[in-house]
Structures are given as C-alpha cells and as structure tokens.
Copies of this chain bind each other. A is one copy, B any other.
Amino acid sequence: MAVQKPSIPSGTRDFGPEQMIKRNYIFDTIRDEFKTYGYLPLETPSMEKLSTLLGKYGEEGDKLLFRILNSGDFLSKVPEEKLTVRDSAAVSPVICERGLRYDLTVPFARYVVQHRNDIVFPFKRYQIQPVWRADRPQKGRYREFYQCDVDVVGSRSLIYEVELIQIVESVFTKLGINVTLKVNNRKILYGISEAIGHTDKMMDITVAIDKLEKVGFDNVAQELSVKGIDDNAIEKLKPILELDGDNRSKIETITRVLSVSEIGMKGIGEISAILDYTDVLGINLDIELDLSLARGLNYYTGAIFEVKAKDYAIGSICGGGRYDDLTGIFGMPDTSGVGISFGADRIYDVMEGLGLFPDASKLSTKILFLNFDAVSEKESLKVLRRLRNIGIPSEIYPENAKLKKQMEYANRRKIPFVGMIGEEELKSGTVTVKNMADGSQQKMDLNEIDNFDFGQN
C-alpha cells in the first residue's frame, strides 16, 4: 500500500496529552459541581434518526447536520427521476436515515419523552458529550466540539435558577475566572413591548437596547421609528433604554413602565425572587440585569443567563435560561425546565490566555525513576508499586539508556521529580529524590518516600 501522509478532516482536532490534561481539568471541575448539586449523568447516542433532528434547528440548521450514509446498497431505493437530475437535496433523505447529534438539547428532549415513565421528576441531568456541525471551519469554530449542559425539567421552581447561578459561581471560582453573570427575563421583554403597545416588536426593542451604548438615544429612536414604533411609544421606552444603576434601581424603573403588563410584572417578580435568594445565600458573583440579553429569545420563556469573562475579550462562556416547552415537539407538552451550557472551548481559551491552568507538573506524572541497571531497576519497580498503590502517578525509564536521555525524557514530560536508586542507595536502603525545578536533592529511606510531598493537589 502506498504510504499516506496522514491528516484529519478540516474542522476537527486531535487533543494531545497537554491539551487533554487541561481540558479534563475543565471538564472535571464542571462535572464535580454538577454532581455536588445533585445532577445526574446522561449520555445519548452520537447518531439520532434524522426524523428526530430535522426541523429542530431551522432551515440553516438542517443543512448543517452531518448525515450518515445507509449501509449496503443505499442507492437501490432512490427514485429514478431524482437520480437522473442529480437532485442532492431530494436524494439525501433517501440514502441517509441517521445524522450526528447537533446539540444536546434535542436528544435530551427526545430522551425525556421516550423514558417519561421511568424518569423521576424533577429530572436533574447533566450531559457532557461532543456535537457535530457541518459549519465552515474558522478560528474558534469547529465541526466537532463538546457541550456541557446541565438542565432540570419538570418543575417551575425558581430554586433551580438559583442553583444554576450557584453552579456558575462555583465553577468559575474554582477555575479562577472572574466573570459577570448577565440575567434577563423573557417575560420582562414581552411586558415592555406590551406596555408600549407593540408586542410584535419585542425583538426590535431588544436589539435597540443593545445598540444604545454604541450609537446613542437619538439614533436608536430613529431606528425604532423606522421599524414602525410611534413616537409616543418611544417616549415611554426612554427610561428602559437609559436604564442605569444597580439591579434594584433598574427593577424599580422597569416596574414603573410595565406595571400595566401582567406578564411583565410576573417577570419582575421572578427576577426579584432570584436576586433575593442570591442575597440571602451571599452568592459571590457579579450579577447584572441586562435587558439587551436575548439569546434564544424564541426558545426561552423566563430567566435568561449569560456569563462573560471580565479579563479576557471573548464571547459568552456560558449561557442558558428557562424554557416551557422543550418536549412539546415530541408530544409531551407543558414540561418546564431550566438549564445552562458551559462553552468548554472558550473557557479553555480564556484560561490559556490568562495563564490560569495549574502547572503541568501538578497534573501529570509526579516522579520518574532512572534506570541504572537490572538491580536498581527491580528495586525501583518495588518502590513504584508502593507509590502507585497509594495513587501517586509515577514511572520508570524503561531501559538503561544514557542518563542524559533519561533526564531529557523527564524534562520534556515535565515530570517534577526524579528518583534514583544507584549503587550507594542500594547499599544503604535509600532513594535519592531530585527536584527538577530547583535541582535540589534529598536522600531518604526507601519507606519514607511514601510520605514525600510530591505537590499533589
């Protein structure tokens, strides 16, 4: 066979050991918090029936689904006329019945409906799995990437909004990232549009609020006017657009505008209750009410969340909200839920950019034993066996190579300590441990090494 120069499909990535150790550090931190808050793990198949996936992500989304070719003689069932005119769009559904999952939300909804009789509600689940999108690859956009979703369905209790806020607080505190949590509520946005008599213009108003800082009130007013919002309504909007101060004073201002909207007042009630909880619990997080926050507006029905890193310029690193009809599309209406999703790739970029990852030496093998000869090797293997039994990642160089080569291996692998059982140590029943960072050496009894401080976390 001809020799191939190997490579991987564009938009996909290999994660070598150094990246993996850092990625696992992020995933483990997130997973531990999910567990601590009582969320349960779920995994769904990588491939779903296309009937499950199609129509859930809009027309554009359908195009971005990776489709899996049917096995065997897949062309046999294609209608003649579709084939002769090479109608790819019409042929594709005949030759592909399955696709790779596009997100974790639709498979979760499918799972909940399919297993509704076995599930204990409220169902608290987390799911950390890759998803695939046939997007044009570019910086920071990949065709395969992990999502880390945490959701609870089957309860309208605001306690869960508060839980998710606490998870945000814990995860980013543990990762060392300073963040702002932006919150909004879809009911407030609706209430505002209702209060000014333009419930059809909710999205335009939200966009206008977002633009205000950049272009100023006059320009925004003009744009709203072009969109068909009358001057009177724009005047009513003014306090909302110019919203300022802390969350409580913002809420006061908004309340004045949308006191006429029942739904709006419900949204105010929700956000106030959530803020009350965070006060009572002393949640140490910069929470900011931001009416321009509208992610997934057509999807969310209550709280909307978004997390931004304060010290690094990048899009949101976490986000989510409450939805009231996740499972309706699969025939199970009125299932309210709330959830957030952590963006592992962006979190990785923030941590790399700000130097927040722990030293490689903290995360990898702690000690490499040098291999001097057969006798030293056997003694080292015995010590290794003890260290491994107490869970200390440790190795021995596999053969009696030049010491320079062995040391270079320790260096390149960023192993912080080197263990040596040479002739002298064999005689005295000792081992010498060399600190690779400062070159210092310490000789100790063979048994003492079990209690040596390898800088484990």
- Let me know if B46 and A73 touch, CB within 8 A: no
- Let me know if A69 and B86 touch, CB within 8 A: no
Q: Jot down 26 A-B pairs with beta carbons below 8 A, ordered by A.
A: A1-B55, A7-B114, A8-B44, A8-B49, A8-B52, A14-B43, A15-B44, A20-B40, A20-B43, A21-B41, A32-B391, A36-B388, A36-B391, A36-B392, A37-B388, A37-B395, A38-B368, A45-B144, A47-B66, A69-B96, A83-B83, A120-B409, A120-B413, A157-B399, A159-B377, A281-B385
Cα–Cα distance between A134 and B130 once the two chains are bound (Å): 20
- Let me know if A122 and B398 touch, CB within 8 A: yes
- Let me know if B38 and A120 touch, CB within 8 A: no
How many copies the complex holds: the figure is 2
**Count of interface residues, chain A, beta-carbon cutoff 8 Å:** 107
- Let me know if A5 and B331 touch, CB within 8 A: yes
| A260 contacts partner chain B, Cβ-Cβ < 8 Å | no
Query: Contacts A6-B113, A159-B381, A162-B381 given; 7 further ones with Cβ under 8 A?
Result: A5-B331, A14-B44, A14-B115, A36-B394, A38-B368, A78-B86, A166-B385
- Let me know if B17 and A281 touch, CB within 8 A: no
| A4 contacts partner chain B, Cβ-Cβ < 8 Å | yes
- Let me know if B3 and A40 touch, CB within 8 A: no
Cα–Cα distance between A412 and B118 once the two chains are bound (Å): 10
- Let me know if B32 and A155 touch, CB within 8 A: no
Which segment, of A87-95, A244-252, A312-320, faces chain B? A87-95
| A72 contacts partner chain B, Cβ-Cβ < 8 Å | yes
Contact partner, A21, options B40, B330, B388, Cβ 8 Å: B40
- Let me know if A75 and B69 touch, CB within 8 A: no
- Let me know if A76 and B68 touch, CB within 8 A: no
Residue of B nearest to A146 (CB): B43
Chain A window 392-421, contacts with chain B (Cβ cutoff 8 Å), 1 for yes, 0 for no = 111110110000000001001100000000
Top 4 A-B residue pairs of the complex, sorted by shortest distance between their CB atoms: A157-B398, A12-B45, A17-B40, A38-B395
Cα–Cα distance between A162 and B380 once the two chains are bound (Å): 13
Chain A residues numbered 224-278 whose CB sits less than 8 Å from any CB in chain B: 277
Chain A window 48-75, contacts with chain B (Cβ cutoff 8 Å), 1 for yes, 0 for no = 1101100100000001001111011111
Cα–Cα distance between A298 and B285 once the two chains are bound (Å): 60
Q: Is the interface of A mostly helix, strand, loop or mixed?
A: mixed
Contact partners of A413 in chain B: CB under 8 A:
120
| A329 contacts partner chain B, Cβ-Cβ < 8 Å | yes
Given contacts A47-B144, A130-B46, A388-B166, contact A52 B6 (CB under 8 A): yes
Cα–Cα distance between A330 and B4 once the two chains are bound (Å): 5
Cα–Cα distance between A382 and B115 once the two chains are bound (Å): 34
Cα–Cα distance between A80 and B153 once the two chains are bound (Å): 52
Contact partners of A21 in chain B: CB under 8 A:
40-41
- Let me know if A13 and B399 touch, CB within 8 A: no
Cα–Cα distance between A381 and B44 once the two chains are bound (Å): 32
Contact partners of A105 in chain B: CB under 8 A:
none
| A378 contacts partner chain B, Cβ-Cβ < 8 Å | yes
